[in-house]
Protein backbone atom coordinates (compact mmCIF):
# COMPACT_ATOMS: atom_id res chain seq x y z
CA UNK A 1 0.00 0.00 0.00
CA UNK A 2 2.96 2.39 0.36
CA UNK A 3 3.07 2.86 -3.40
CA UNK A 4 -0.46 4.31 -3.30
CA UNK A 5 0.36 7.24 -1.04
CA UNK A 6 0.83 9.91 -3.71
CA UNK A 7 -0.15 8.48 -7.08
CA UNK A 8 -2.20 10.05 -9.85
CA UNK A 9 -3.48 8.42 -13.04
CA UNK A 10 -5.25 10.53 -15.67
CA UNK A 11 -6.49 10.03 -19.20
CA UNK A 12 -7.21 13.18 -21.15
CA UNK A 13 -6.43 15.41 -24.11
CA UNK A 14 -3.71 18.04 -24.32
CA UNK A 15 -5.09 21.57 -24.31
CA UNK A 16 -2.03 23.02 -26.03
CA UNK A 17 1.32 22.02 -27.48
CA UNK A 18 3.79 21.17 -24.71
CA UNK A 19 6.23 23.88 -23.64
CA UNK A 20 9.72 22.38 -23.80
CA UNK A 21 12.49 23.93 -21.71
CA UNK A 22 16.11 22.81 -22.07
CA UNK A 23 17.92 23.74 -18.86
CA UNK A 24 21.58 24.70 -18.58
CA UNK A 25 22.18 21.53 -16.60
CA UNK A 26 21.26 19.53 -19.71
CA UNK A 27 17.90 18.38 -18.33
CA UNK A 28 14.73 18.68 -20.39
CA UNK A 29 11.43 19.85 -18.93
CA UNK A 30 8.02 19.53 -20.61
CA UNK A 31 5.05 21.55 -19.31
CA UNK A 32 1.51 21.02 -20.58
CA UNK A 33 -2.08 20.72 -19.45
CA UNK A 34 -4.62 18.00 -20.07
CA UNK A 35 -8.39 18.07 -19.91
CA UNK A 36 -10.40 15.24 -18.38
CA UNK A 37 -14.13 15.01 -19.00
CA UNK A 38 -16.88 13.50 -16.89
CA UNK A 39 -20.48 13.29 -18.11
CA UNK A 40 -23.65 12.87 -16.11
CA UNK A 41 -27.39 13.45 -16.50
CA UNK A 42 -28.91 16.10 -14.25
CA UNK A 43 -32.37 15.91 -12.67
CA UNK A 44 -33.89 17.58 -15.77
CA UNK A 45 -32.58 14.78 -17.99
CA UNK A 46 -29.91 16.98 -19.61
CA UNK A 47 -26.48 15.53 -20.31
CA UNK A 48 -23.84 17.64 -18.56
CA UNK A 49 -20.11 17.40 -19.30
CA UNK A 50 -17.72 18.62 -16.63
CA UNK A 51 -14.17 19.38 -17.84
CA UNK A 52 -11.28 19.60 -15.38
CA UNK A 53 -7.85 20.97 -16.38
CA UNK A 54 -4.66 19.52 -14.90
CA UNK A 55 -1.16 21.04 -15.03
CA UNK A 56 1.48 18.44 -15.86
CA UNK A 57 5.29 18.53 -15.88
CA UNK A 58 7.67 15.84 -17.10
CA UNK A 59 11.45 15.57 -16.91
CA UNK A 60 14.25 13.80 -18.76
CA UNK A 61 13.47 11.02 -21.23
CA UNK A 62 9.72 11.39 -20.67
CA UNK A 63 9.98 15.08 -21.60
CA UNK A 64 12.00 14.21 -24.71
CA UNK A 65 9.32 11.73 -25.83
CA UNK A 66 6.63 14.36 -25.24
CA UNK A 67 8.63 16.91 -27.28
CA UNK A 68 8.93 14.49 -30.18
CA UNK A 69 5.49 12.87 -30.34
CA UNK A 70 2.84 14.73 -28.33
CA UNK A 71 0.88 17.74 -29.61
CA UNK A 72 -2.28 19.70 -28.83
CA UNK A 73 -5.43 17.55 -28.86
CA UNK A 74 -3.64 14.19 -28.48
CA UNK A 75 -5.13 11.76 -25.99
CA UNK A 76 -2.67 10.52 -23.38
CA UNK A 77 -2.65 8.47 -20.20
CA UNK A 78 -0.25 9.71 -17.55
CA UNK A 79 0.88 8.46 -14.18
CA UNK A 80 2.75 10.48 -11.62
CA UNK A 81 2.48 12.27 -8.30
CA UNK A 82 0.89 15.52 -7.12
CA UNK A 83 3.13 18.37 -6.05
CA UNK A 84 2.29 21.87 -4.83
CA UNK A 85 4.52 24.92 -4.88
CA UNK A 86 4.33 28.68 -4.64
CA UNK A 87 6.07 31.54 -6.41
CA UNK A 88 5.91 35.34 -6.59
CA UNK A 89 4.52 36.80 -9.83
CA UNK A 90 5.83 39.96 -11.55
CA UNK A 91 3.66 42.16 -9.30
CA UNK A 92 5.02 40.50 -6.16
CA UNK A 93 1.85 38.51 -5.42
CA UNK A 94 2.27 35.00 -4.05
CA UNK A 95 0.79 32.37 -6.40
CA UNK A 96 0.15 28.72 -5.70
CA UNK A 97 0.12 25.88 -8.20
CA UNK A 98 -0.57 22.16 -8.02
CA UNK A 99 0.96 19.99 -10.73
CA UNK A 100 1.18 16.35 -11.66
CA UNK A 101 4.83 15.29 -12.05
CA UNK A 102 4.56 12.71 -14.83
CA UNK A 103 6.66 9.57 -14.47
CA UNK A 104 4.95 7.48 -17.16
CA UNK A 105 3.18 8.40 -20.37
CA UNK A 106 1.10 6.33 -22.76
CA UNK A 107 -0.06 7.82 -26.06
CA UNK A 108 -3.62 6.78 -26.90
CA UNK A 109 -5.82 7.09 -29.96
CA UNK A 110 -4.61 7.79 -33.47
CA UNK A 111 -0.99 8.88 -33.60
Does residue 83 carry a pLDDT above 70?
yes
Q: Is 78 in a helix, a strand, or coil?
A: strand
- pLDDT higher for 6 or 4? 6
Whole-model pTM? 0.83
DSSP 48: E
> What are the b/e assignments for 15-45, b being 16+ CB within 10 Å?
eeebebeeeeeeebbbbbbbeeeeeeeeeee
Average pLDDT over residues 84-91: 92
Percent with pLDDT over 70 in the chain: 95
Per 3-state DSSP, what percentage of the chain is helix, strand, and coil (rounded to 5)? Answer: 10, 60, 30
pLDDT in tens, 11-23: 999 999 999 999 9
pLDDT in tens, 16-42: 999 999 999 999 999 999 999 999 999
Q: Measuring CA to CA, which residue among 49, 53, 27 is closest to residue 38?
A: 49
Q: Which H or E run contains 62?
A: helix 60-69
Amino acid sequence: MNTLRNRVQLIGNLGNDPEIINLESGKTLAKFNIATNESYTNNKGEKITDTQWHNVVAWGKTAQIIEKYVTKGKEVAIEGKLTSRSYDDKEGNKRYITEVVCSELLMLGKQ
